[in-house]
Amino acid sequence: MGAFKETKFPANAPASQKALGWVDDRFPLTKLWNDQWGKYYAPKNFNFWYIFGSLAMLVLVLQIVTGIFLTMHYKPDANLAFGSVEYIMREVPWGWLVRYMHSTGASAFFIIVYLHMTRGLLYGSYRKPRELIWLFGFAIFLCLMAEAFFGYLLPWGQMSYWGAQVIVNLFGAIPLIGPDLSLWIRGDYVVSDATLNRFFAFHVIAIPLVLLGLVAAHLIALHEVGSSNPDGIEVKENLGPDGHPVDSIPSHPYYTVHDLFGVSVFLLIFSTVVFFAPEMGGYFLEYNNFLPGDSLKTPLHIAPTWYFTPFYSVLRATTADFMWVLMFAVAAYVAFLWLKSRLSGMVKTVIAAVALVAIIGMLPSVLDAKFWGVVFFGSSVVILAFLPWLDHSKVKSIRYRPDWHKYVYMLFGIAFIALGYLGTQPPSPVGTVVSQICTLYYFAFFLLMPWWSEMGQFKQVPSRVTYHAH
């Protein structure tokens, strides 16, 4: 075993420096700080789109801290849960503030994550060599959805109770294992005290542990290959005499100040919502959730929270009549693949066989539309994970792609927002048709990306990042 060597400091060195040296001799605190932020060199042309990663970390900490305080007074019991939330709101000193910070923080988390993913989409942050960063980010997104779903039941309000009932029952549409899977998730034949207890365990312990591990993996992978930038240029390919990229700057103090400004603006907006509009018109906190859950009284319109509604609209758009359109779309896509794809004949044959089985399964006499709604609901989320392998563009950043690509992205954003809005509204004939059109465009955006992403006249990518001093 090697001899332990303790760092020596001058006798007149500050006590804080000596204390830090003592820690560094036993734990690489300073090294971790320098590697992950202090001396981590990032491209110098970051814009406001690069604030949302830090904001997501801030909101994660905020949710954990407020969640800890809420669990001190919350009771995971079907007979006491709603009353304990009311007790927190009315009797616990500043309990209303902690509860509103937590509920507003949940919506803020998804807003920030969606914007963070939008930045990745615009600037090709998922492209080589950052595929693993994207996959870790996608896993984080799945965990956030699970965390929000499990937490949604805990207030035991009307929308919480019936929303959980509807979502869990969706799993029952899966052939063979569906009913048993729904029963296993609920822990009972209906949403009950057993369901509440297991959802509480997942929300408070299991999912947060997985989430923290994925966030650490996401950051480690990011700092291993380096950050992307709005130009999509690999700054590590142009090093200076000091061994650092010439187009990069240390994260501290430059991006520390940059992010602190973003944090200040965010906290101003966040505080305004918490103090003046915590329900946000019924989108952040539904009005039905201020009524205790009643298994004998169904709300007129049951819908999940707004951050699930784009995918929920896909599920709701899958009606029996729409199945014929989907069957035609699948057949047309397979024919297109056969004619235009560079895949081998064997792979094309397998895809065609799978598609044929799917088309047969879509017939009304085989599998009903509810099952396929669940399939497309899940597929609309999972397809995001394949983005690094679907995008065949010659350049990474939207800045240097053909101008018409911007309209493709813009229409995708409009379709996604439209699906989200329609998911919050009661079903209607017009709304159903619009959601079906948006669903087709949503999937076409990804499934046709290998072709449209490499079409058009691309602009020349500069050899160095474009940067204008503020």
At 470 the pLDDT is 56
Q: Domain 38-290 - what CATH class?
A: mainly alpha
End-to-end CA distance of the chain: 53
Q: What is the separation of C-alpha 95 from the centre of its chain, rounded to a whole number of angstroms?
A: 28
At 2 the pLDDT is 59
Would the annotation count 252 as a binding residue? no
Would the annotation count 203 as a binding residue? yes
Sign of dihedral through CA atoms 252, 253, 254, 255? positive
Domain residue limits, the chain: 38-290, 306-452
Would the annotation count 116 as a binding residue? yes
Helix axes 403-424, 429-447, angle to 10 degrees: 140
Percent of the chain with pLDDT strictly greater than 90: 62
Q: With 60 as the cut, is the pLDDT of residue 69 above it?
A: yes
Task: Give the tens place of pLDDT for each residue, 109-142.
Answer: 999 999 999 999 999 999 999 999 999 999 999 9
Task: Give the tens place of pLDDT for each residue, 403-457.
Answer: 999 999 999 999 999 999 999 998 899 999 999 999 999 999 999 999 999 999 9
Q: With 90 as the cut, is the pLDDT of residue 175 above it?
A: no
At 203 the pLDDT is 96
CB 101 within 8 A of CB 267: no
Token digits of residue 200: 């509480």
Token digits of residue 291: 């009524």
Q: With 80 as the cut, is the pLDDT of residue 7 above it?
A: no
* Cβ partners under 8 Å of residue 35, min gap 6: 223
Closest by CA position to 288, among listed 273, 280, 300: 300
Angstrom distance (rounded) from CA 350 to CA 244: 48
Average pLDDT across the chain, whole number: 91
Would the annotation count 258 as a binding residue? no
Angstrom distance (rounded) from CA 292 to CA 153: 11
Q: With 70 as the cut, is the pLDDT of residue 57 above it?
A: yes
At 3 the pLDDT is 65
Would the annotation count 102 as a binding residue? yes
At 318 the pLDDT is 93
* Cβ partners under 8 Å of residue 175, min gap 6: 367, 371
